Amino acid sequence: MTPDRLIPFDRVLNFRDFGGYDTADGQRVARGKLYRSAAFNDATEADIERLHGMGIRFMVDLRRPEERNREPNKWPGDRARVIINNEGPQDGLPPHLQALMQDDITPESVTSYMHMLYREFASNPRHIDLYRNWFAELVEGGPGLIHCAAGKDRTGLGCALTLMTLGVPEEAVIADYEFTNAAINLDERLNHIHDRLQVRLGRELDPEALKPMLGVHVEYLRTAFDAIDAEFGSADAYVTEVLGVGARERAALRKNYLE
């Protein structure tokens, strides 16, 4: 995993170029066209100027309405097309924080919750709508960005589906997903995240219990794909039949993003 995939910003986390991978048939995913990130609610003026200069045409924000309302993005404004989905509560705690309000939170219980979350990602109607729109925009071409709050779970599955559809082998898809752990430097940031969550939730939290939620684990992604296989037959069938990426769309994706 080349370090230059991680693009440093002042206050935008986990911003990465997820191009550059070789495909199984000898081509390569173009660099400078596919980006993934955490949210932009803390972006500085310098961050915003740099983002403006990247020529990103569209952005898919996978966050729920209550997440976006509490922490609205400071970028892109009118510089790029922004795709959101407003279905669901407009305020309150998102489900992953509600899970931390349960009694007897342990690393094991949080790990179990994460597996449950991943099992439901692909069948969630909001995610289907947003992933469909992501692929529809990719068919049109141009640099695109997909993100959620931390840029690792919902975003991680979306990026994995994108790379698989472009013909990137599983090993590289998993490597891109796992790179989040290095990109966010969890050990360094854990205390800060822990303190912020304790203030927001108004309760004591064991930092060790938070770790399974704050990083990524290959087993989570495998859980998502096992659920896709069980419900839709395969990831390829899911992308084709549920997300609307047929032969014409795949040809356009290859033309737009492979070199």
Q: Could you read off the pLDDT tens digit of each residue along the chain, which spans 259 residues?
A: 556 899 999 999 999 999 999 999 999 999 999 999 999 999 999 999 999 999 999 999 999 999 999 999 999 988 899 999 999 888 887 888 887 888 788 999 999 999 999 999 999 999 999 999 999 999 999 999 999 999 999 999 999 999 999 999 999 999 999 999 989 887 777 777 778 887 887 878 888 888 898 889 999 999 999 999 999 999 999 999 999 999 999 999 999 999 9
* Cβ atoms 256, 250 nearer than 8 A: no
The boundaries of the domain holding residue 11 are 3-257
Closest CA to 114 of 197, 212, 193: 212
pTM over 0.85: yes
Count of structural domains, the chain? 1
- For residue 37, what is the enclosing H or E element? strand 34-37
CATH number for the domain that contains residue 240: 3.90.190.10
The full DSSP string for 47-90 is: HHHHHHTTT--EEEE---HHHHHHS---S-TTSSEEE----S-S
